[in-house]
Structure formats: C-alpha cells, structure tokens
Structure 1
Amino acid sequence: MIRIFLIIFCLILSLTGSSLADNLKNKKIDGMVFIKGGCFQMGDTFGDGYAGEKPVHEVCVNDFYIGENEVTQGEWKALMDNNPSVNKGGDDYPVDSTEWEDVQEFIKKLNVKTGKSYRLPTEAEWEYAARSGGRKDKFAGTSNESELKEYAWYYGNADNETHPVKQKKPNALGLYDMSGNVWEWASDLYDGSYYDISPKDNPKGPDNGMYHMLRGGSWYSVAKNARTTDRYWTDVGGGGTDTLYGFRLAMSAD
C-alpha cells in the first residue's frame, strides 16, 4: 500500500511540476510574449508581393519570446539617457530614428542590467510571430485591408506621425503594432537570393552583407508595405537611421 501511494504521489508531483513549468513558460515575462515554435510557409503566400518576398519556402523556428510592443521612448531614455526620436510624443510612443549600432548598444546595456539575453528577432521569427504562428495573415491581425485601420497606424490613418503603443488591436498572439507605427529592425543581413537557399530550420540570414533588414512598415507606409511578408533593408554602414526606424526585442526560449 505504501509503495502504491509513493508511486501515485510521484506521478502527481511529476505532472504538477510539468504543468507549472508549462504555465510559467507561456506567461508574458517582462513585456515579452512566449511564441510556440513551429513550421510555416515564409514569404509571399498571397502572390501579390515584391520579388524580395519570393520564393515562398518552408521555415521552422524554435520556441522564443518576442516583445508585446515596440520599445518605447520611455524605455530607451531610462537606459540610454537620451531620446533620438523625431516624433517625441511621450514615453509611451515607440522610439524612432534609431541607428543599428545604437540599438545594439541598448540591447547590450539591457542584458547587463537584467542578466538576460535579449536580442533582435530574426526575420523568420518576426514573420512567424506577426502572422500569429505562421498563419496566412496578410497583415498582423487580419488579411482584410479594410480592417487594417483597426490593427495598425499606417499612411491611411496615422496623420503623418507615430502613436502610443498598444492603441490598436493585437494579433491573435497578443502582439501590438506588428504592422505599422515604426519599421522594426531584424537581426538578418540582406541578400536578394537568400530565400532561394534559406535553410529550413531557424534561418538567420546570410553571413555577409551591407544591409540589415526591417519589417512591419510604419506610420508612413501604404497598406502594401504594412504586410507581414514585406521586407525592407537599409545600409547600416552609412548612418543607417531614419525617422521611421524602431524595434522590438526578442529572446530565445531555451
């Protein structure tokens, strides 16, 4: 009888521990949302995108975390003691006019301060998250352009300025402003032929290149450039800044 009790107790303890771990892993942590990894068809699945979004190819990503919203001016100022933003609307507005090198410095300081390993998302992670786990979503939250104004600040409704984060509807994963408001830096370098040779598992972009990728569109973007598959790149060696550039954080889950 005692032996049976011990076996049952151990089973319950094991299940309880597993459930607790699962619950903790799936919570939002420090403004981050846990994204369960999986496989999806990356690229222009609707057939109306630009050449750089083709060919459509299968990609699989591991579990990861991504910021619920874009990094704000308040968060940037608290760590960097400055504010590069042109559109200085307030602490709850996304930081804009960010240079690649300064974003890397921000992440470095944040990791030292928190003891964590924040980074930028890869293009594959960004698109997978924007498409709510790889769904065939043209925009972050919807595929219907007439509904875009409910999910994004873009050329059609932004009045030529950024807006506070989390004012529009989130996508199905609870992520805000993945379409519009500010372009978001990804960690990948650009190569026009990379989609032709991209590895299936956790692609991180080419090893070499002059340009870094940005995703999601901005307040100045027309609807086509706010699509989840749209890609934009800029020269980080020649200044690499623009009033439209911001970012959100990511973190590996393992």
Structure 2
Amino acid sequence: MRLFSLIMPAILAIVFSIAVSAKELTVIPEIEMVDVEGGTFTMGLDESEAEHLYETPKHEVILSDFRIGKYEVTQELWEAFMGDNPSISKGDKLPVENISWYDIQVFIKKLNKLTGKKYRLPTEAEWEFAARGGNKTAGYSFIGSDNPDSTAWSSYNSWMQPHPVGTKMPNELGIYDMGGNVSEWVQDWYGNYSEKNQRNPHGAKKSDIGKIFRGGSWNVIPDYNNPGCRFVSNPNFKSPYIGFRLAE
C-alpha cells in the first residue's frame, strides 16, 4: 500500500506532463512548408555579377527533394517554444530577429522534441535553389521578380523596419520574403565554392570565418535581392536584420 502511494503521484505527474505538452501543441502557430522537387541548377555568380569573389564561380549542383518554410519564422512561433522574444522590432507576425545561429539550434531542438518532426535550417544550396524558383524558375533578375519592390522589403520601401511575413508577392514556388524583410541564417559553414559539380552539398566542415546567411533585408538596397548573393558572420552574431526559415 505504501509502495502504491509512492508510485501513483509519479504516474500522475507523468500523465499531467504529457497532457500539458499535448495542450501546448494544440495552440502553437501553424508551420507551413513548401514541397520543393529536387533538380539540377547553376549555383553562384560570375565575376561580372558578383560583389564578392566568394560568390564565384558558378557551378552545377544536384539536389534531392526537400521542404522549406513558406514564411520566415515569426516572433509568435519563436515565443511559443522559447518563452521569450529577443527581437528588436516587436510583433507576432514579424520575423524573429536578433538571434544567433546557435540560438536557432536550441529552438529547433525544442521544436522537434515537441512536434516529433525533423526540422532544420536549409543548406545554402537548398536556400538558393528555392530562391531561384526551383524547377519552376522564370529566370528573374531578382528573387521572384524583375521588380524587387514587388517581392521584397528593402531600404527603398521598408521605412527602415521589418514587416509582417507574407505581405509581399511570393516567388515562383509560393515562398515569401526570400529576397527581403530579414536575411536568413542557413546551415552551412563558410567555404569557397568549387568548380566541380556537387550533389546535396553541405558546405565546409568547419570555418574560422563563420556561418552563411542569405537574402536581402529591410535595411539594404534591392541589389542584394539576388539569389546568388552570399553573406557570412560569426555564428554568435545577433542582428535586427537577420532571422531564418525552417527546412525538412
């Protein structure tokens, strides 16, 4: 009887914990993903197009199917799992920002534990392929359009602040804000491109320079709304113009 009285509270605590977790899962914001059919594309830029040599040379990349977030991760979603909101500009539907690459890894670990999914950051190659429109690419000069104002918040139209996700036109795959609003951390460490063809590349194994982030943002000119533009920073770096989107 004494053993029963000791065991029952523990069992009830476990059941209560599971019930609370299930309840929490019913109120988390929806995570919309876009299926991206794999394919072959030309990654990178020519020297005549590139602002930095590390955006060259152009090279062929083959990718398998993957999924990528329809929207940048919002502050609402971040706070649902992390319990806080580190963003400088506050708003549930604004992209979360002011987060390091390592902060994102903590978020993804919690997200996967509670949802049973296998979310991650997109690789640099996956990000660029999706930004170019995948197999549906129309060959636009900028991400999703020949007119960057229609698809991206930049310093020309943002009033120098981020905006709710999905308020500009999407690209060919129905993905929003890849060219602006906030730049986006990807999975890869920085590494120089190779001229050799690659299949499902994951970047350098390690780098003293940092992690890659992609896409233009609300504080830069539209020229950076180019699928081949490449940026790098220390993975501990936090900024009001860098966020992320999920992949699977």
CA contact (8 A) 1:126 1:186 kept: yes
CA contact (8 A) 1:214 1:233 kept: yes
Q: Does 1:109 align with 2:110?
A: yes
Q: What letter corresponds to residue 225 of structure 2 in structure 1?
A: A
Partner residue in 1 for 2:5: none
Task: Give the 5 Å matches for 1:138-149.
Answer: 138-142=141-145, 144=146, 147-149=147-149
Deviation at 1:196, TM superposition (A): 2.0
Deviation at 1:47, TM superposition (A): 3.7
Partner residue in 1 for 2:244: 247
TM-score after normalising by structure 2: 0.83
Q: What letter corresponds to residue 228 of structure 1 in structure 2?
A: P
| Residue from 200, 203, 227 that aligns with 2:201 | 203
Q: Relative to structure 1, is the Cα distance of residues 149 and 46 closer, same or farther in structure 2, using a 3 angstrom cutoff?
A: farther
Q: Relative to structure 1, is the Cα distance of residues 112 and 171 closer, same or farther in structure 2, using a 3 angstrom cutoff?
A: same
Q: Does 1:32 align with 2:29?
A: no
CA contact (8 A) 1:212 1:233 kept: yes
Q: Does 1:165 align with 2:168?
A: no
State the SS of the aligned residue for 1:250. coil
State the SS of the aligned residue for 2:134. coil
Q: Deviations over 1:83-123 (max 9, x none)?
A: 010011x1011001111111000000000011010000001
- The whole-number CA distance in structure 1 between the counterparts of 2:47 and 2:153 is 22
Partner residue in 2 for 1:232: 231
Deviation at 1:221, TM superposition (A): 1.3
Partner residue in 2 for 1:26: none
- The whole-number CA distance in structure 1 between the counterparts of 2:194 and 2:64 is 21
Task: Give the 5 Å matches for 1:1-254.
Answer: 30-44=31-45, 47-50=48-51, 51-88=53-90, 90-133=91-134, 135=137, 136-142=139-145, 144=146, 147-191=147-191, 194-196=192-194, 200-210=198-208, 211-236=210-235, 239-251=236-248
State the SS of the aligned residue for 1:102. helix
Q: What letter corresponds to residue 152 of structure 2 in structure 1?
A: A
Q: What letter corresponds to residue 225 of structure 1 in structure 2?
A: Y
Q: What letter corresponds to residue 57 of structure 1 in structure 2?
A: H
- The whole-number CA distance in structure 2 between the counterparts of 1:108 and 1:221 is 31
Q: What letter corresponds to residue 246 of structure 2 in structure 1?
A: L
CA contact (8 A) 2:47 2:56 kept: no
CA contact (8 A) 1:44 1:53 kept: yes
CA contact (8 A) 2:98 2:238 kept: yes
Q: Tell me how large the CA RMSD over aligned residues is.
A: 1.6
Deviation at 1:216, TM superposition (A): 0.6
- The whole-number CA distance in structure 1 between the counterparts of 2:222 and 2:93 is 24
CA contact (8 A) 1:38 1:61 kept: yes
TM-score after normalising by structure 1: 0.81
Q: What letter corresponds to residue 226 of structure 2 in structure 1?
A: R
Q: Relative to structure 1, is the Cα distance of residues 174 and 46 closer, same or farther in structure 2, using a 3 angstrom cutoff?
A: farther
State the SS of the aligned residue for 1:195. coil
Unaligned 5+ segments in structure 1 are: 1-28
CA contact (8 A) 2:124 2:188 kept: yes
- The whole-number CA distance in structure 1 between the counterparts of 2:31 and 2:216 is 25
Q: Relative to structure 1, is the Cα distance of residues 46 and 70 closer, same or farther in structure 2, using a 3 angstrom cutoff?
A: farther
